[in-house]
Amino acid sequence: MTSSQQYEERLERRRRKGLVFSVLLFLATTSGLVVLVTLIVDVVVQGGQWLDWDFLTRFPSRIPENAGIKSAIVGSLWMILLTAAISVPIGVASALYLEEYAPRGWLLKIIQININNLAGIPSVVYGILGLTLFVRFFALGRSLLAGALTMALLILPIIVISSQEALRAIPEGIRESAFALGATRRQVVWSHLLPMSAPSIMTGVILALSRAIGETAPLIMIGALTFIAFLPTSALDPFTVLPIQIFNWTARPQADFQGLAAAGIIILMVVLFLMNLSAILLRNYFEKYRAR
C-alpha cells in the first residue's frame, strides 16, 4: 500500500472525527440554551397573566390582584444609576493607575492579586461589610445610598479588571508613537487610551451592572425593605429592588403570589436584556475608535 492511499484512508477518518467534534460543540451550546428557554417558558406561563399596566404602576399589596411592582422598578433604577455613578469613575481610574501609572513591582502584584480575589468574594460578605460600614458606621441607615455603595464595592473589582483588560488590548505602538510626539501621559490617556478602550470598558461596566441589578443577598443583609408603598425621593430614602420584591413574593404560600413573582422575573429579565442590548449598541457605536 502506498503512502498516498494511506493518507486518503486517514482523511476519511479525520473527517468523521471532525464531524463528531463539531456535533459535540453544538450540543454543548444548545444545552445552555435549552435551560434558558425552559426557564423563560415556565416563567411566562406562570406570570404572563399577571403582566399588565396595573402591575407596572401599582405599589405592592397584600391582595394579589392589587399588587404591583412600581416601587421595585423605580428602586432598581435608582440603584443602578447610583451604583454606576460611584463605581465607574473609581473603577476606571483605578484601572488607569494600575495599567498606565503604577511602577511595576511586588506591591503592584499584591494589589492585583487582591483585586482578583475580591471579584470572587460571595456577595453576602459585601452585604455584611455594607451593614457595618455604611448603614451603621456612616449612619446612612437602610437607604438607597447605603445599598448603592455596597453594590459599588461588589462590582468594583469586575470593573477594574475589565477596564485593565481593555487598556491592555490597546497596541503598544499607540502609546509609543504618542509619547514619541512629545505628549504627556495624561494627554496619551485622554486622547487615545480612554477613547480606544471605551467600548470594552463600557461592555464590562454594563455586564457588572447587570450583575448588580440581579443581586439580592447584600441588599437583604443591609436591610432593604420588601414592602415599600411609596417612591424614594432622595438617595437617603429606604427602598426595595426587583429581586427583593421577587424574593418576597416567592416566599409567600399563596399561588397568586407565585404568579406575581414570575411576572416580576419577566420584568427583571427584560431589564437585563435591555442593558445587554445597550452594551452591544454602545460597543458598535464606539467601534471606530478601535486600533487595528
Partner 1 sequence: METNERNGSSPAGQGASEGAKVRVENLDFWYGANHVLKDVSLDIRANEVTAFIGPSGCGKSTLLRCLNRMNELIPDTRLEGRVLIDGRDIYRNADPVMVRRRIGMVFQKPNPFPKTIFENVIWGARVNGYKGDEADLVETCLRKAALWEEVKDRLHAQAYGLSGGQQQRLCIARTLAVAPDVVLMDEPASALDPIATAKLEETILQLKERYTIIIVTHNMQQAGRISDRTAFFYMGELIEADATEQLFTRPSRKRTEDYITGRFG
Tell me how far, at minimum, the Cβ of 185 lies from partner 1, in Å: 9
Instruction: Please report, as residue ranges, which positions from 86 to 115 form the binding site for partner 1 (by CB under 8 A).
Output: 103-104
Q: How many residues does the structure list for the chain?
A: 292
Tell me how far, at minimum, the Cβ of 104 lies from partner 1, in Å: 4
Report the first-to-last Cα separation within the chain, whole angstroms.
Answer: 50
- Report how far residue 176's alpha carbon sits from residue 58's, in angstroms, rounded to the nearest whole number: 58
Tell me how far, at minimum, the Cβ of 180 lies from partner 1, in Å: 4
Instruction: Please report, as residue ranges, which positions from 38 to 97 form the binding site for partner 1 (by CB under 8 A).
Output: none
* 236 lies in the site for partner 1, by CB under 8 A: no
Tell me how far, at minimum, the Cβ of 170 lies from partner 1, in Å: 10
- Report how far residue 21's alpha carbon sits from residue 5's, in angstroms, rounded to the nearest whole number: 25
- Report how far residue 255's alpha carbon sits from residue 123's, in angstroms, rounded to the nearest whole number: 30
**Which amino acid, one-letter code, is at 217?**
A
How far CA 201 is from CA of 19, 59, 158, in Å, comes to: 38, 36, 10
String of contacts with partner 1 for each residue 164-203, x by CB under 8 A: -------x-xxxxxxxxxxxx--x---xx---x-------
Number of helices followed by number of strands (H, E) in the chain: 12, 0
* 291 lies in the site for partner 1, by CB under 8 A: yes
Instruction: Please report, as residue ranges, which positions from 116 to 175 form the binding site for partner 1 (by CB under 8 A).
Output: 171, 173-175
- Quick one: 120 or 182, whose CB is closer to partner 1? 182
How far CA 91 is from CA of 95, 207, 244, 270, 291, in Å, comes to: 6, 14, 26, 27, 23
Tell me how far, at minimum, the Cβ of 171 lies from partner 1, in Å: 7
Tell me how far, at minimum, the Cβ of 182 lies from partner 1, in Å: 3
- Report how far residue 131's alpha carbon sits from residue 141's, in angstroms, rounded to the nearest whole number: 9
* 288 lies in the site for partner 1, by CB under 8 A: yes
Size of the site for partner 1 (CB under 8 A): 24
Binding site for partner 1 (CB under 8 A): 103-104, 171, 173-184, 187, 191-192, 196, 288-292
